[in-house]
Amino acid sequence: MRKSLMFLGILYPLICSGDWWITTVDSHSVGGSSIAIDSSGIPHIAYTRCDAGGFFKYVSGNPIDSSWTLEFTHDSSSFPNLKLDSKGLPHIISENGWYIWKDTNDIWSKEKVRYEIGSGWYYHGHSLVLDTNDYPHILGVYRNFDLPPDYAFLFHWYKDSIGWHTDTVDTVSNGIDNISIVIDNENVIHIAYPSLPGNYLCYAKKIDGVWDKEVVELYPAGYRPWIALDAYGRPCITWKTNGGGLKFARKNDKGWEIEMIDTAGYYVHNPVLCIGKDNNPRIAYLFARTHSNGDLKYAWFDGASWNTTTIDTNVFSPTKSKPKIHYTFMGMEIDKDGISHICYDYQKGAFEKYAKGHGPHIGVEESEEFRVKSLELKVYPNPFTTGVRVKGLGVSEGQKVNLKIYDMMGRLVEETNVGLEDCKIGESLPAGIYFVKVQEFKSSKVQRFKVVKIIKMGRVR
């Protein structure tokens, strides 16, 4: 087993796309990724490299210089699913059944969880969670295409102080597509899975050793479900419909409340669901209106209605002849400050990318009708070692603008109001990358705003 520490290239550029900061993690051929955020807000990503026969990498982000540190690679593995335990240590399950983890001594270990059950059986899909004791629970599907009409078993592997155990969640005659698993504070397992070909969407939870199963939606339901629990422990599920749309369901006392979130698309794929600090759902998903190009989109409920936005464009190409969309997977997690972090494969599996946004700090509150891009903001020197001067704000006599500085995690670190005169900022900040945001106020409304990246270097001794 290899353990290496290196930087993936030199500083990858950050791109500001609306309310999102986007950067490249790896510029080689990739396919299939998963993300987890530690208690400090640092992103950790596991993703597949499709070259050299296929292997996966595990990297962690550096909020100071936007670089990514390679911590582990595993050969002959793909489509890793990543979780961090209560100590912030990584646990990974790969599609070929390897369960891999790092202990408190920085030692990586692995076990083969998946086993062969006979000729003609194909392992399809997997999902990982950790319980309150940091023991793994793994969900996986075996399908047999030679037993019409596509016979399938849904298995649950779990570990305790004794060792590994296995039980069967369900047996479906029409096959099972990708699955999703989550665990609550009482260590109750909750699962979402579809029957193929989209006949119905199922939900199951394990109570006192028995699986309680129910149908969320009958035909035509859809595929690729993702499950999460809200603040009250109620299951929430998102999935792609057969007709190219995106749905969301939350269970209440009366049953499942189902909503159509996005539609009129040629293709929706691989939705990922998280519940925000406000107990409202957020969904990242791939969406194509034509056969040629598809975008990474983001939907959120604000307490009254659903909203959608595009994070990145031309992320995949869902052509009928070569459906590359099937190799475009992603992950999403929300940190303790309410900021969404997303990893995803870009442009037919050519790049691994990372986006951060839609949090209480980074989100832009200005209404579109008040945005004017002519506001000037000049900072010099940049990079700087002591302080940076701000000039050319373009305001009128007597006007003031509000100036805020955010760090790479979206936290507000400095704020002031300035006018026509030059001002000096950032003198008390440690070395790192920051974002200066200025916005002009008039009649209690935001008239103009501008964001500039600044870099503070450490002093040379």
How crowded is residue 286: how many other Cβ atoms within 10 Å of its Cβ?
27
pLDDT digits (tens, 9 = 90+) for 39-97: 888 899 998 876 655 577 888 887 555 678 888 887 767 788 999 999 999 999 988 78
Please provide the CATH number assigned to the domain covering 368-456: 2.60.40.10
Is residue 62 classed as helix, strand or coil in its secondary structure? coil
pLDDT tens for the chain, 461 residues long, are 333 333 333 334 444 445 688 888 887 767 678 999 998 888 999 988 766 555 778 888 875 556 788 888 877 677 889 999 999 999 999 887 889 999 999 999 999 887 666 666 766 668 999 999 999 999 988 877 666 656 788 889 999 999 999 999 988 766 676 789 999 999 999 999 887 655 788 999 998 889 999 999 886 667 889 999 999 999 999 998 877 789 999 999 889 999 999 986 677 888 999 998 889 999 999 888 766 678 899 999 988 889 999 998 888 766 544 444 445 678 999 988 888 999 988 765 568 889 988 764 333 333 332 233 345 667 778 777 888 888 756 555 666 777 888 876 667 888 888 776 778 888 888 888 788 877 655 443 344 556 677 777 765 44
- Cβ-based neighbours of 292, under 8 Å, separated by 6 or more: 317, 319
C-alpha–C-alpha distance, residues 450 and 403, integer Å? 10
- Cβ-based neighbours of 370, under 8 Å, separated by 6 or more: 445, 446, 447, 448
Q: Do the two domains 6-357 and 368-456 of this chain adopt the same fold?
A: no
**Distance linking the first and last C-alpha atoms of the chain:** 40
Nearest alpha-carbon partner for 307 in 293, 297, 296: 297
Give the E-state strand segments of 242-350 in sequence order.
246-252, 255-262, 267-275, 281-288, 294-301, 306-316, 330-334, 340-346
Cβ-contact 44, 99 below 8 angstroms: no
Show me where the domains of the chain are located. Answer: 6-357, 368-456
C-alpha–C-alpha distance, residues 129 and 121, integer Å? 25
Site of tokens 């705003």: 449
- The one-letter amino acid code at 248 reads F
C-alpha–C-alpha distance, residues 362 and 321, integer Å? 40
C-alpha–C-alpha distance, residues 417 and 404, integer Å? 9
pLDDT digits (tens, 9 = 90+) for 375-426: 566 777 877 788 888 875 655 566 677 788 887 666 788 888 877 677 888 8
Nearest alpha-carbon partner for 414 in 425, 422, 423, 401: 425
Helices (DSSP H) in 271-368: which residue ranges? none
CATH class entry, domain 6-357: mainly beta
Ramachandran sector of residue 32 (left: φ over 0; alpha: ψ -120 to 50; beta: rest): left
